[in-house]
Structure 1
Amino acid sequence: MKTIVITILGKDQPGLVDNLAKHVFAHKGNWLASNFAQMSGQFAGFVEVHVPHDTHDALINSLNTIEDIHVQSVSAIEKTSPMPQQSMVINVLGNDKAGIVQELTAVLNQQKLNIRSMESCCESAPNWGSLMFKATIVIDVPEEFDGDDLIEALEAVANDLVVDISTYT
């Protein structure tokens, strides 16, 4: 079996995921994981698929024929034995400002932390009339990692930023 990661992007419309699933199933693929979102009328997502070696190329060619969406696929590289890691979930809340994502990710990069997933949004703050930035970031950290320095560095991005490390997994 080969692992393929598929990305899709296109105008949101009913049936996109079903169409993709039909192509995967027709080539004996096993749908392992996916993550989809709709933003500003566009649909984007990622799918991880296991496919037999003998249908791999045919699935890639088939995916490239899907109309109305842009599809990219790459064969995943087998992981070597990773260093022991754990995941940390960081919740961030503060007034929105241009550059906040760059500043937050720069702090994580400076500490050589890998972002596993990140969800963010801006919402109207009740009674304030301004936008609030919210993010949930899952990062990989070494087992002996102390999150206190990270919280301090992230909160230094803005004086109103609240950072909470809510769980270790």
Structure 2
Amino acid sequence: MKSIIVSLLGKDKPGIVERIAKQVRLFEGNWLASNFAHMAGHFTGFVEIQLPQKKITPLLEQLDSMPELNIRLVEGETSPAQAIRASLEIMGNDKPGIVQEITSVLHQFNINILRFSSSCEAAPNWGGLLFKANIDIDYPEGFDIAPLSLALEQIANDLVVDIDWQE
């Protein structure tokens, strides 16, 4: 059995995930994990599938026959087992540079971003946009989070956003 990651991108319409799941099952695959999103009329996502090596090419050919989707394959890798996961919730008045500043701090500490989700929505009380983000990260066991927490607190003050840290 081999683990593969299939990425998908295309115009959104009902039934895409069901069609993919049907093909995975048809080719004796096991759906391990997935993450899908809809944005601006498009559908995108990743699916981690485990299946027999000889079934990979036929599955990809079948998925490629779905003209509304662009398909890409990468081989799966195992994640480091000793990583500690944490989540950051960010909220504040929207302004250019929030994502760059926060991700820059995470990069300075060699922190891996596992999931990043953000949005802007109307802030009726302020008359502008409210920026919200959720970031899942991991860091090695034994990592001293105090300097990272301090750096995030400082950048939150500079950007005038709230950053809530949860392990």
User: TM-score over 0.5 for the alignment?
Assistant: yes
C-alpha offsets along residues 20-58 of structure 1, whole Å, 9 cap, x if unaligned? Answer: 112211211111111111111111111110011221221
Is 1:165 matched up with 2:165?
yes
What is the identity, as a one-letter code, of the residue corresponding to 1:44? T
Distance of 2:159 and 2:7 partners within structure 1: 37
Partner of 1:121: 119
Q: Is the 8 A contact 1:151 1:164 kept in 2?
A: no
TM-score normalized with structure 1 length: 0.89
Partner of 1:142: 140
Stretches of structure 1 that go unaligned for 5 or more consecutive residues are: none
Partner of 2:18: 18
Is 1:76 matched up with 2:76?
yes
Aligned positions of 1:87-98 closer than 5 A: 87-98=85-96
What is the identity, as a one-letter code, of the residue corresponding to 1:18? E
Distance of 1:83 and 1:32 partners within structure 2: 17
Q: Is the 8 A contact 2:9 2:70 kept in 1?
A: yes
Query: What is the Cα deviation at residue 83 of structure 1?
Result: 6.4
Stretches of structure 2 that go unaligned for 5 or more consecutive residues are: none
Partner of 2:83: 85
Q: Is the 8 A contact 2:98 2:159 kept in 1?
A: no
Q: 1:116 to 1:35 in 2, by over 3 A?
A: same
Q: What is the aligned-residue identity percentage?
A: 44
The count of residues paired between Structure 1 and Structure 2 equals 165
Query: What is the Cα deviation at residue 147 of structure 1?
Result: 3.4
**Over aligned residue pairs, what C-alpha RMSD do you find?**
1.7
Partner of 2:63: 63
The structure where helix makes up a greater share of residues is 2
Query: What is the Cα deviation at residue 155 of structure 1?
Result: 3.6
